[in-house]
Amino acid sequence: MGDSTAPATRAARALDLTELHASLTDPVLDAMNFLNEVVSRFPEALSFAPGRPSEGTFATDDPARYLRTYTDHLKYELGWSEDRVRAQLFQYGRTNGIIHDLIARTLANDESIHVSPESVVVTTGCQEAMLLTLRALFARPEDTLLVSSPCYVGITGAARLLDIALCPVQEGATGPDPKAILAGVRQTRAAGGRPRALYVVPDFANPSGASMTVAAREQLLEIAAQEDLLILEDDPYGFFVREGSSRPTLKALDRERRVLHLGSFAKTAMPGARVGYVVADQEVIGPAGERTLLADQLSKIKSMTTVNTSAISQAVIGGLLIESDCRLRAANADAIAFYRTNLNTLLDELERHFPAARRRELGVDWNRPDGGFFLVVTVPFLADTKALEHSARNFGVLWTPMSDFYLDGGGSTQLRLSCSALTPEQIRDGVSRLAAFITGQASRAGR
Amino acid sequence: MGDSTAPATRAARALDLTELHASLTDPVLDAMNFLNEVVSRFPEALSFAPGRPSEGTFATDDPARYLRTYTDHLKYELGWSEDRVRAQLFQYGRTNGIIHDLIARTLANDESIHVSPESVVVTTGCQEAMLLTLRALFARPEDTLLVSSPCYVGITGAARLLDIALCPVQEGATGPDPKAILAGVRQTRAAGGRPRALYVVPDFANPSGASMTVAAREQLLEIAAQEDLLILEDDPYGFFVREGSSRPTLKALDRERRVLHLGSFAKTAMPGARVGYVVADQEVIGPAGERTLLADQLSKIKSMTTVNTSAISQAVIGGLLIESDCRLRAANADAIAFYRTNLNTLLDELERHFPAARRRELGVDWNRPDGGFFLVVTVPFLADTKALEHSARNFGVLWTPMSDFYLDGGGSTQLRLSCSALTPEQIRDGVSRLAAFITGQASRAGR
């Protein structure tokens, strides 16, 4: 000790990035960082990049009122003593949450998902729900997660943290394709992997905007039963229908408890509270035959990630649920109308700038999602970070390269547009800028 | 698909516990579950088991006031617009947090730890800080975490989730022992492992109550430099001095950035907010020589665990820090006095029931921590879950078996007493019950 002949060890110790966990040098992470960096360098640009919700009618004082609504509920409806109420806010709490009953009631009202409150795990945003679920289900190196591709980076990122093998399954024209999923399962198995679960966003997916038909949902559940696959269903955008009516979630159709339903309040309430949940009503059988819920197993993992979800945040979301009588879909009527107008405006403006003949001439097209925040534009040039920088600098408009959402290459000539955080006026202005950018690039590409 | 000849696949699918991740069948988790179960079965028992803080003068309306203090600070001191303030509460936020500057100021005032706000990562409780830190630093199977043993289950649990190899290092009479740590480093290396970091609680450790001398802290930093080891310092109890004065944290003594300082507001503010942090001011050098802070790398991981810490929770803790002028030690004066009285009462009562001659006769003894929430009683019988159940049922007093905190056996005749969540009266009553239990068991053991 105190070896003064080794002055090299006395300097501040720098760490070598390549000696840190491999997830830190994942290209997807680099891509997201670059995107954030471009967004921050061009703060004046109109941005179709972020998928964040509109702040709508939210007021700074709302969280304090929701807190009061929740504690009043405990005191006056449930008859709790003042001491018990203050301990509920102040102390460590139940690992799986304190508003699980309100969430179960809301799921029954809004989604016809009928589950016991004990099968609901309240999490620090939906991201923690993904982490807990993946950690519990994936035990061995061969356990493989199938993901509908292009795919939300939150799930692939969580899988990377846990060194979980991934198998991307290409989406069809109307989103996740049951036949392609079946092929992915068999291909995984042929390569020595064990297909353990599939991650899918059935409604208005991020990034593609695509949705599964009801028939495709039924077919996917059949495949899951036949191939012994669990389904991780993520449904943050289901309320936000533009055209047609809401379709049943996979969980509402699930009669064999094959679906773990991941939930978020980030789009339907507020992202800042970081409250999400997972419905895990599967039975788990122990070595001595003892039966628990998968939710109870997730609880053990949650005690090692965040102990419990913030009681303050849960109380805020709890108060909001109580104020809306556990009917969040009805409470979102204005938001649903806002996003519908935005997506219609985006589609109309694209049509106005690129009518059919012009589209064919330029080699430009886009999909027309039935709802949600996103759509995908296909262009006749590389929609990469260089193009994005050009778009930001010279046209004042930002978007997301679709290639960021592919694990296996793909999307190189596609861009994702999000319209959730803009006004209709900004969308009109933004599409006009985007049209100038796309037309210029297409011309340079010789179209 | 739809193979109707296979009715077995149509039943609700139960999962096999042995096919889930190995952390779910870890004996430590089972032990903690059993403990919680015993506590819940004997709600009337006086409990020395939980390490939770006292609710003190906390009032149910405090969080709403703290929220207001924080938003007023943004509006009137920082001059933010109303729109910017409401977005701060409502929206997704900066991954590494929004009260990092207030935390850095508080660390400077209270601990003489001077770091840039950019090196502070605000986390969902200290538990997430452990998870992020372990995930970033442990990349290969041979990377080994040394833990001072007996050890807090939060760190060993997080390591289990990530399949990280552990090497327990036995504590000495005054806590973590630098010589034993050096021996553990060399032993790990000899066995083909790579000692990557040491987890240590220098002040009033959970579970032992032991503290490192200042000389031992200096010596540990020397060893870390010499052996190229990082130190994960966890210091939730440092304020709560019973006798003597506060000692400098390892981070305050760290001149080579070898210490990652894990912080909690659970004991000094409120557990229910789930806000903690890690100071990660280490430099990281990328393959092309680019330099970042370790905090920036942790940010990438945090975006895949919880995206960001609840803005509502951060605003509550932020308001509390602002109200205390970023001097949390002074704000905790009443709590410090409360815990001092409690620990003194516990020690006095043990002495009263077991004076020196009686101690020798029975084979009972305990340590006398300088502060914190915990002490350890050694008894002449197995202090296991069966003894705990006997103690709860027949004597109405609960405690924690020390064996729960050992990875490699140990503590089988020791029990941990926590006095943080009791009043002095309850402590007197509890020790009286405990003395009857211990005397009875010691007699049965033939003493």
Three-state DSSP state, A241: strand
Classified by CATH at the fold level, domain B62-331 comes out as Aspartate Aminotransferase; domain 2 (3.40.640)
The whole-angstrom separation of Cα A168 and Cα A199 is 10
Contacts of B210 (CB under 8 A, 6+ apart): B171, B173, B174, B175, B176, B204, B367, B369
CA A432 vs. chain centroid, Å, equals 29
| Nearest chain B Cα distance for residue A447, angstroms | 38
Nearest C-alpha neighbor of A197 from the set A235, A163, A159, A161: A159
What average pLDDT does the structure give for chain B?
A: 94
| Nearest chain A Cα distance for residue B129, angstroms | 9
String of DSSP letters for B200-261 = E--SS-TTT-----HHHHHHHHHHHHHHT-EEEEE-TTTT-BSSS-PPPPHHHH-SSS-EEE
| Nearest chain B Cα distance for residue A355, angstroms | 36
Residues of B in contact with A226 (CB under 8 A): 1-3, 6, 9
pLDDT in tens, chain A (447 residues): 334 333 344 567 799 999 999 999 887 777 777 777 887 889 899 999 999 999 999 999 999 999 999 999 999 999 999 999 999 999 999 999 999 999 999 999 999 999 999 999 999 999 999 999 999 999 999 999 999 999 999 999 999 999 999 999 999 888 889 999 999 999 999 999 999 999 999 999 999 999 999 999 999 999 999 999 999 999 999 999 999 999 999 999 999 999 999 999 999 999 999 999 999 999 999 999 999 999 999 999 999 999 999 999 999 999 999 999 999 999 999 999 999 999 999 999 999 999 999 999 999 999 999 999 999 999 999 999 999 999 999 999 999 999 999 998 899 999 999 999 999 999 999 999 999 999 999 988 876
R_g of chain B, CA atoms, integer Å = 23
Mutate to test the interface with A, among B65, B221, B274, B290 (most CBs of A within 10 A): B274
The whole-angstrom separation of Cα B430 and Cα B441 is 16
- B122 touches B100 (CB < 8 A): yes
Nearest C-alpha neighbor of A13 from the set B221, B329, B269: B221
pLDDT tens for A75-120 read 999 999 999 999 999 999 999 999 999 999 999 999 999 999 999 9
Residue type, B366: W
A33 touches chain B (CB under 8 A): yes
Q: Which CATH superfamily is domain B27-51+333-444 in?
A: Aspartate Aminotransferase, domain 1 (3.90.1150.10)
Question: What are the structure tokens assigned to B96, written together?
Answer: 């590494």
Nearest C-alpha neighbor of A128 from the set B163, B302, B265: B302
CATH architecture for segment(s) A62-329:
3-Layer(aba) Sandwich (3.40)
- B377 touches B387 (CB < 8 A): no
Going by their DSSP bridges, the two strands B414-418 and A291-293 should be labelled as unpaired
- A312 touches A67 (CB < 8 A): yes
Q: Strand ranges (DSSP E) for B265-362?
A: 276-279, 283-285, 291-293
The whole-angstrom separation of Cα B323 and Cα A363 is 60
The whole-angstrom separation of Cα B125 and Cα B128 is 6
Going by their DSSP bridges, the two strands A165-170 and A143-149 should be labelled as parallel
Phi, psi torsion values for B120, nearest 5 degrees: -100, 125
The whole-angstrom separation of Cα B355 and Cα B195 is 44
Q: Return the C-alpha torsion angle B282, B164, A302, A275, nearest 10.
A: 40
Phi, psi torsion values for B374, nearest 5 degrees: -125, 150
A316 touches chain B (CB under 8 A): yes
The whole-angstrom separation of Cα B190 and Cα B311 is 46
Phi, psi torsion values for B5, nearest 5 degrees: -85, 0
Q: Which residues pair with A397 in a beta bridge?
A: A46
CB atoms within 10 A of CB B357: 8
Three-state DSSP state, B443: helix
Tell me whether residues A285 and B12 touch, CB distance under 8 A: no
Would you kindly state where each structural domain of chain A is located, as residue ranges? Answer: 22-51+333-444, 62-329
Nearest C-alpha neighbor of B176 from the set B144, B145, B199: B199
Mutate to test the interface with B, among A9, A274, A373 (most CBs of B within 10 A): A274
Residue type, A295: A
A60 touches chain B (CB under 8 A): yes
String of DSSP letters for B235-247 = -TTTT-BSSS-PP
Q: Which residues pair with A54 in a beta bridge?
A: none
Identical topology for domains A22-51+333-444 and A62-329: no
| Nearest chain B Cα distance for residue A134, angstroms | 9
Tell me whether residues A273 and B162 touch, CB distance under 8 A: no
pLDDT tens for B174-212 read 888 999 999 999 999 999 999 999 999 999 999 999 999
For domain A22-51+333-444, the CATH class is: alpha beta
Nearest C-alpha neighbor of A146 from the set A159, A163, A136, A133: A159
* Total residues belonging to chain B: 447
